[in-house]
Amino acid sequence: MSSSTPEITADVALPWRPDRRPATAFTTDPLAGEKPQIYDVRGRKVAFYKIGALARVLNRKSDTIRGWEEQGWLPRPPAAFPGRDPRNAASAKHGRRRLYTKALIIGIYQIAREEGILEPHARPIQETQFTARVTKLFADHAAHERQQRAEADGRQQ
């Protein structure tokens, strides 16, 4: 590497996207610094992250993640709560909050890294197995959640 080209390390922001970090910045915990929101789901507290956390981990904007959903490249999240119109507190018709568990975000991140799509324009998502692998991840996650609920229901009886 020439001396005129700066080396990108995990603690240096990408020069073309100062708000983004290189993929190597997330080698231990891609959600470090993100704060989950706790929701009551069928009587148990569950930590969820919003679409912005997923977007930051994947080095994209939230609009891109929504676009991937519309294109069918990313399944819809398993949890969504109604949004609120900031101009009218009584309104719950202002979109929906896409919510992801930590396990899903880490799984999506690992698949994206393995498929080579973490950096924008690195590899077209359509030319990868990203969609198929993430769809399987979501199905496995849903099955695991159903099993946990069934076990919890069995313990309560």
Q: How far is the CA of 110 from the CAs of 6, 13, 31, 107, in angstroms?
A: 27, 21, 12, 5
Q: State the Cα–Cα distance between residues 151 and 94, nearest whole angstrom.
A: 35
Residue 80 lies in a domain: yes
How deeply is 73 buried, as exposed, middle or buried, from its count of CB atoms within 10 A (0-12, 13-18, 19+)?
Answer: middle
Q: Are 53 and 34 in contact (CB under 8 A)?
A: yes
Please give the average per-residue pLDDT across 40-57, as a whole number. Answer: 89
- pLDDT attached to residue 154: 75
Residue 5 lies in a domain: no
- pLDDT attached to residue 14: 43
Please give the average per-residue pLDDT across 55-59, as a whole number. Answer: 92
- pLDDT attached to residue 138: 94
Q: State the Cα–Cα distance between residues 93 and 116, nearest whole angstrom.
A: 37
Radius of gyration over alpha carbons of the chain, in Å? 18
Residue 129 lies in a domain: yes
Identify the residue with better confidence: 47 or 122: 47
Residue 86 lies in a domain: yes
User: Which tens digit of pLDDT belongs to each residue from 98-152?
Assistant: 899 999 999 999 999 999 998 777 788 889 999 999 999 999 999 988 888 788 7
- pLDDT attached to residue 7: 44
Determine how many CB atoms are found less than 10 A away from the CB of residue 30.
24
Residue 60 lies in a domain: yes
- pLDDT attached to residue 29: 81
Residue 2 lies in a domain: no
- pLDDT attached to residue 157: 58
Q: Quick check: 67 pLDDT over 50?
A: yes
Q: Name the domain count of the chain.
A: 1
Residue 22 lies in a domain: no
Residue 14 lies in a domain: no
User: Which tens digit of pLDDT belongs to each residue from 1-44?
Assistant: 444 444 434 444 444 444 545 444 455 788 888 889 888 887 88
Identify the residue with better confidence: 88 or 70: 70
Q: State the Cα–Cα distance between residues 110 and 68, nearest whole angstrom.
A: 17
User: What's the domain range around 42?
Assistant: 34-156
- pLDDT attached to residue 58: 92
Q: Are 53 and 100 in contact (CB under 8 A)?
A: yes
φ, ψ for residue 148, nearest 5 deg? -65, -40
Single-letter residue type at 155 = R
Identify the residue with better confidence: 134 or 81: 134
